[in-house]
Amino acid sequence: MSEAAPGAASKNRPPLAQGRDPTTPPTADQPIRVAIVGLGRIYDLNVVAYLDYPDVDVVALVDPDGARLDERGQDWPTAHRFTSIAELAASGIAVDAVEALLPIASHADSVVELLGHGWHVNLQKPMATGIEDAQRMLAAAADAGVTLRVMDNYLFYEPLVRLKALVEDGAIGDVVGYHLKMVASGRGGWEVPWDTYRAQFEQAARGRGILVFDDGWHKLSTAIWLFGPLREVRAWVGATEIVPGITLDAPTTVAWEHENGIRGSWDITLAVDLYLRSDYYTNDERWEVTGRAGFARVNRCTGRGIQEPSLEVYRDGELRSFHALDDDWASSFRDSGRHWLRWLRTREGPLLWSPDQALEVLRVALAIYESSAQGGTGVDPRTIEALASPRA
């Protein structure tokens, strides 16, 4: 393994083109040049999209932790290593796009900096902790003429993709309602570095909980993706102290109505002593959509809770089971990332999500907190504009 010194010219790679029009796709005669900024736990999943993909060149890794740079650098021996975005920018290495895997609290400042260098950005969710920061990022992307995408891998999880297609094809008749269930357990799964949890707990202390806001972002995304914008949210956000000084935002109950009249509900439960088999996080998730003539349900996602086919459809007294779907959670990261890389080339299809769509998800998340603070009264997410980002 060889490591180029920070700031050294990249062999066989041109310097950052001066005067390049950032609105155009990367040039077709070379791979898309990507920098990965942030090398924590979620890197292991996001990087799957880039491994063995012929149309990409990971040219730089950025993280303040030298040990992480050394470890992740083994995946990309020719990539330059930097401890900050500023170091990367000063090096002159040509970058087309950035995979931004950063703590949520730093999204706004870091993304504005990345966009300002003329780089397209694929940002890990949640977009931001408040409307003001989200709008700063939208303005920065517009000013720089580059694309900001807020990725959500759940929209590429094959059982959910097939669920959406079945519902839209009328396989269960007109939809009359649906339910999401989420159980966070305290045992099983992979190891998560303490600094990752520390950042999440600090954020939770500022009013953006791990279950409702961080992981829950996925559930809100799937709701909008399945049935469109919401016009009212009602919520009761609970709290459970798991160790002295650390509280998780469960039990929580959320209900909403979409603009098309479809109603959904979401139950978040914490089971600290429950062992859940999982290759990833210990989260048991289920989606069930009921139609006038039947129902369809996705039985699992991140963890391996219900050991039945990941997708089932019931109609007219018969249960149809889907046994051959790619229901490995990591595959959704692969497919989301490659969708982004193809989009950079072709500009075809939806971003999933565009920054405006991600802002809509953020408004729903903030409406949950507003409703709970008001004792569960109905809140229209479209009215959420003034809730500032929480600060330490």
Give tens-digit pLDDT for 161-204: 999 999 999 999 999 999 999 999 989 998 887 676 677 778 77
Task: Give pLDDT, residue 198.
Answer: 74
pLDDT in tens, 299-331: 999 999 998 999 999 999 999 999 999 999 999
Task: Give pLDDT, residue 63.
Answer: 98
pLDDT in tens, 60-81: 999 999 999 999 999 999 999 9
Query: What is the pTM for the complete model shown?
Result: 0.90
Helix (H, G, I), strand (E, B) or coil at 168: helix
Res 220 pLDDT > 90: yes
Task: Give pLDDT, residue 297.
Answer: 98
Contacts of 207 (CB under 8 A, 6+ apart): 369, 390
Q: Could you give the residue range(s) of every CATH 3.30.360.10 domain in the chain? A: 155-349+359-373
Question: Does the domain at residues 155-349+359-373 carry the CATH identifier 3.30.360.10?
Answer: yes
Strands 318-322 and 311-315: antiparallel
Overall average pLDDT of the 241-256 stretch: 93
Contact 347, 61 (CB under 8 A): no
Please state, in angstroms and rounded to a whole number, the distance separating the CA atoms of residues 297 and 224: 17
State both tokens at 96. Answer: 């087309």
Residue type, 162: R
Please state, in angstroms and rounded to a whole number, the distance separating the CA atoms of residues 183 and 19: 51
Indicate the pLDDT class of residue 17, thresholds 50, 70 and 90.
very low
Task: Give pLDDT, residue 390.
Answer: 52
Res 147 pLDDT > 50: yes
Please state, in angstroms and rounded to a whole number, the distance separating the CA atoms of residues 122 and 101: 9
Choose among 99, 107, 102, 97: nearest CA to 134: 107
Angle between helix 216-227 and helix 355-373 axes, rounded to 10 deg? 110
Contacts of 192 (CB under 8 A, 6+ apart): 41, 281
As beta bridge partners, residue 296 has 289, 313
Please state, in angstroms and rounded to a whole number, the distance separating the CA atoms of residues 165 and 186: 34
Task: Give pLDDT, residue 24.
Answer: 64
Q: Could you give the residue range(s) of every CATH 3.40.50.720 domain in the chain? A: 32-152
Choose among 228, 195, 252, 263: nearest CA to 369: 252
Fold assignment, 32-152: Rossmann fold (3.40.50)
Task: Give pLDDT, residue 10.
Answer: 33
Indicate the pLDDT class of residue 8, thresholds 50, 70 and 90.
very low
Please state, in angstroms and rounded to a whole number, the distance separating the CA atoms of residues 349 and 275: 40
Question: Which element (helix H / strand E) includes 140?
Answer: helix 131-144
Contact 268, 252 (CB under 8 A): yes
- The pLDDT > 70 percentage for the chain reads 91
pLDDT in tens, 329-386: 999 999 999 999 999 999 999 999 999 999 999 999 999 999 999 999 999 999 998 5
Which range, of 8-12, 17-21, 123-127, 130-134, averages the lowest pLDDT? 8-12
